[in-house]
Structure 1
Amino acid sequence: MTAQVIRPVAICVFRHEGRILAVRGHDPHRQGAYLRPVGGGIEFGESGAQTLVREVKEELGADIADVRFIGTLENRFRVGDEPRHEIVLVYDARFTDASLYGREVLRGKESDGTDYSAIWVRPEDTKPETPLYPEGLAALLAADQAMMASAKPAKAPRRKKSLVDLLHAHRADIEAIIAEFDRAQPPGTKRR
């Protein structure tokens, strides 16, 4: 039996045109396939975002930018007879090489040397026979998408105009009013 440890993990979905990037894996316990975003274990002293920069560079040979935290999931599962427990930090980011979004399959290599394929999938289109892990990820992404869609950009505060600003803005109008006033005065009347 392995030591019972809760493992901190960071994953990244790389949203693009309604799809996310997910690695195809095989679950020997269920005897079936599954999908899971790219990522890996957080090393001591490393932030979740730093983990993703490192993991994506090591596994896919790619650089990323604009890393944004989405939320946290708890993942409890079994590998054979061994219980596992992860706290999963979920992020979104973008590849600095935009050509990666045009590839149907991205080839990667795990730290143990195992090759893998990552594909673009729509979270809502995943099937029970090929679940998207960790459990709850599709719901978290849908909630985040709804929140992002409803967020309104903040308006810049309006600066109050000073009297001088108003006078400059309406100078022509003021001069026209004074000229009209002067014309309306009886001849020989002086303005104070």
Structure 2
Amino acid sequence: MSVDRSYIRVKVMLIAPSVHGDHHLVSVNAPSRENPLGYHRLIGGSVELGETHREAIVREVDEELGARILDLTYLRTVENIFHLNGELGHEIVALYSGNLEPAPATEGGTLMESDGSVIPVAWRPFDDSDVDIPLYPSEASDWIRSHLSERLP
């Protein structure tokens, strides 16, 4: 399914820590022109008309992972301006944190997109300085490094 990127989209994304608190869940996306190794993206999706961003993250996580969010906490809003295969995209992203119940498997987990496609998920370390695959939205990535990694054991 092609995504219309001709307008600014309102999104919600979740930083979902692992049971041990040293990793967080991301979707694993295919290589693109800009990212030949692929890229990681926080879990989440679009806010629908008439829906609050809090309602949207709860719905998205349920639809994509079949999970509910415990201790859901709003963190901040970030702006994501990017290119995907040469096409400009622009998103305003409400960023949340929370624990998943049930948590996806340590390896081999997937999520289901609204178009029925299945996307792998992985547990990315909070301290990702040695990870070559970029995390998007990049502004959220910078925030994770400066705030959440400070709380690791």
Shorter-chain TM-score bucket reads: 0.7 to 0.9
Per the TM alignment, residue 83 of structure 1 is displaced from its structure 2 partner at its CA by 1.0
Correspondence for 1:34: 39
Task: Find the residue that maps to 2:64 and give its secondary structure.
Answer: helix
Equivalent in 2, 7, 25 of residue 21 of structure 1: 25
Task: Find the residue that maps to 1:136 and give its secondary structure.
Answer: helix
Correspondence for 1:11: 13
Within 5 A, what are the aligned runs for 1:172-187?
none
Query: Does residue 95 in structure 1 map to residue 100 in structure 2?
Result: yes
Q: Deviations over 1:20-77 (max 9, x none)?
A: 1011002422233111111001111212221111111111111222210111211111
- Aligned residues of 1:74 and 1:87 also touching (Cα < 8 A): yes
- Please give the alpha-carbon distance, in whole angstroms, between the structure 2 residues aligned to 1:3 and 1:108: 22
Q: Structure 1 residues 142, 78: closer, same or farther in 2, change over 3 A?
A: closer
Task: Find the residue that maps to 2:67 and give its secondary structure.
Answer: coil
Per the TM alignment, residue 134 of structure 1 is displaced from its structure 2 partner at its CA by 0.8
Per the TM alignment, residue 126 of structure 1 is displaced from its structure 2 partner at its CA by 5.3
Q: Which moved more, 1:32-41 or 1:62-71?
A: 62-71
Q: Greater share of helix residues, 1 or 2?
A: 1
- Higher gyration radius (CA): 1
Correspondence for 2:63: 58
Per the TM alignment, residue 102 of structure 1 is displaced from its structure 2 partner at its CA by 5.5
Within 5 A, what are the aligned runs for 1:109-188?
109-125=112-128, 127=130, 129-145=132-148
- Please give the alpha-carbon distance, in whole angstroms, between the structure 2 residues aligned to 1:80 and 1:101: 29
- Please give the alpha-carbon distance, in whole angstroms, between the structure 2 residues aligned to 1:64 and 1:29: 34
CA RMSD, 1 decimal = 2.3
Equivalent in 65, 70, 90 of residue 75 of structure 2: 70
Task: Find the residue that maps to 1:43 and give its secondary structure.
Answer: coil
- Please give the alpha-carbon distance, in whole angstroms, between the structure 2 residues aligned to 1:121 and 1:146: 12
- Please give the alpha-carbon distance, in whole angstroms, between the structure 2 residues aligned to 1:103 and 1:147: 23
Calculate the TM-score normalised by the size of structure 2: 0.82
Question: Can you give the 5+ residue segments of structure 1 that lack an aligned partner in the other structure?
Answer: 150-192
Query: Matched residues, percent identical?
Result: 29
Q: Deviations over 1:135-190 (max 9, x none)?
A: 122321234337879xxxxxxxxxxxxxxxxxxxxxxxxxxxxxxxxxxxxxxxxx
- Aligned residues of 1:124 and 1:138 also touching (Cα < 8 A): no
Task: Find the residue that maps to 1:124 and give its secondary structure.
Answer: coil
